[in-house]
Amino acid sequence: MATVTKFPWRHTKPFSIRDRVALTGTRRGCTSGVCGVCTVQGVDGRAVLSCLALAIEWDNRPVTTIEGVAGGDELHPVQKAFLEYGAVQYGACTPGLIMTAKALLDENPDPDEEAINEALAAALRLSDGQVRIMSLNTGGGFTGRTSVCPHHYVAAVLSRKTSRPVKVRATADEEFIACRAGGEVKYTFRTGVSETGQIKAFEVDIGFDTGAYVESQMIVLTLTSSYMHSLYKIEASRYSGRLVHTNNIPYYFHHGGGLAQMAFGLGQYMDALARELGMDPADFHLLNGVTKGHTTMTGTFFGSCGLAECITKTAKQAGWKRKYGKLPPLKGIDRRWCDGLRCQRRVQARYIGRLHQDRR
């Protein structure tokens, strides 16, 4: 819970909550009351579009943000439900939807479908008739859903030939076979590092084999450009990316805009760089990793950051100091992966660190 107080009258609540109180869970979206991602809960329990409210209107009044929903380490039932049913989706709109759902349940613990539709329609700035809540069997997102597959065209052709609706249903395994994910991406990393092991400059070059056609593969270049240096305190960077047309089939990615493959390659590189400098990879990441209060070159402000804590706890749990440099090649707990330490930024400003214990 945040108390909005003593801020310039012209500031809206998202600005005050995010940049002054450093509670960054409240997202800043359209800033015009259309998207609903900035929803918070007012003192009266109502869901409020904070981008439409000036901070002076809430002077010395408590406001519940997404950070205040959970009770300590125990998630709120609404948060648990979002996790259980995979409702987090991309993540940017999740805090606003959770706040909307919580406000609804606080007022009406057992809402019917009409009440749910009405609440979500208000959060999304739609009319009641434009929202339908449907409970379906939902599978994972790691398939070809982000690009057109051959059986999509087959359904369209059959529908046109028969003048009837046609549905082609594919299992998850069939989706993996039919989709065109998996194009080759070449990453070239270069760094400038001080004698003490601090990263000063970072350069990245990406070449992506898109195949014969381009659909939305440019997302790979757009996302990786902002995520490449988001984990490290860097003073200067340069980035270049190319989509290369070839005679191969059109390629895309399974999910996540290619960030997983980028994080794997970058992690390999940073681990090798630490070894070349004669540094323990864990110490190298702790030295260069972002911390609370840091602002990146792209303007991202870290109001909170658990990266150092994540690395420290993971290293301790895995016995990193005891095992580093002493295990036989590929004889660690997880033999499928290369050795070293990898870190990756996730969409919701949280960090996932993975420590590979099969160090040589």
- pLDDT by residue (tens digit) across 22-63? 777 887 777 777 777 888 888 788 888 888 877 777 777 788
- The reported pLDDT for the residue numbered 287 is 94
Give the model's pLDDT for residue 5: 43
Q: What is the pLDDT of residue 112?
A: 85
- For tokens 């009319």, the residue is 127
Ordered structural domains, the chain, with CATH: 185-356 (3.30.365.10)
pLDDT for 115 = 84
Q: What is the pLDDT of residue 314?
A: 86
Distances (CA, A) of 11 to 52, 53, 59, 301: 10, 9, 12, 18
pTM of the model: 0.56
* Residue 8, pLDDT score: 47
pLDDT tens digits for range 96-125: 889 988 999 998 999 887 888 887 777 666
pLDDT lower than 70: segments of the chain = 1-20, 88-90, 123-125, 128-129, 131-147, 172, 176, 180-182, 215-216, 253-257, 329-360
Q: What is the pLDDT of residue 299?
A: 79
